[in-house]
């Protein structure tokens, strides 16, 4: 029998992904397990030219519990798909897919 602490969610329970916004990319990332992992990933990805570092978390919000990250893009900048996948890999993780809203349409890319 598992014991839950007040406010803790069961390990199998994941929260739904937030709605995707224009000027944002969501990447599914394998291997995220802790906030230290998230910090290293955020540092690598925030260095990309397409990332709006004026947004919270330098434009990169990582959800290690659910295995994805949201990247805020500079207004009018298209996603640099390959650069994003490469930055994730250089941080020591694997991205399995990325998605963005482009002209109101959901676009999905795989590395």
pLDDT score of 2: 46
- Secondary structure of residue 48 in the 3-state scheme: coil
pLDDT score of 36: 87
Per DSSP (E only), the strands in 43-83 are: 60-63, 68-72
Question: Which ranges of 26-99 would DSSP assign to H, the alpha helix?
Answer: 35-45, 81-90
pLDDT score of 32: 87
pLDDT score of 76: 86
pLDDT score of 37: 84
Q: Residue ranges of the chain with pLDDT lower than 70?
A: 1-15
What percentage of the chain carries pLDDT values higher than 90? 66
- pTM value? 0.82
């Amino acid at each position: 029998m598992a014991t839950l602490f007040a406010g803790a969610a069961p390990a199998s329970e994941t929260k739904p992904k937030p709605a995707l916004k224009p000027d944002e990319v969501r990447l599914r990332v394998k291997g995220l397990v802790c906030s230290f992992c998230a910090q290293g990933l955020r540092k690598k990805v925030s260095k990309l030219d397409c990332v709006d570092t004026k947004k919270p978390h330098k434009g990169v919000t990582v959800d290690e519990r659910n295995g994805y990250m949201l990247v805020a893009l500079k207004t009018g900048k298209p996603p640099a798909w390959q650069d994003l996948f490469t930055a994730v890999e250089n941080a020591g993780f694997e991205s399995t897919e990325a998605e963005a809203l482009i002209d109101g349409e959901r676009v999905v890319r795989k590395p």
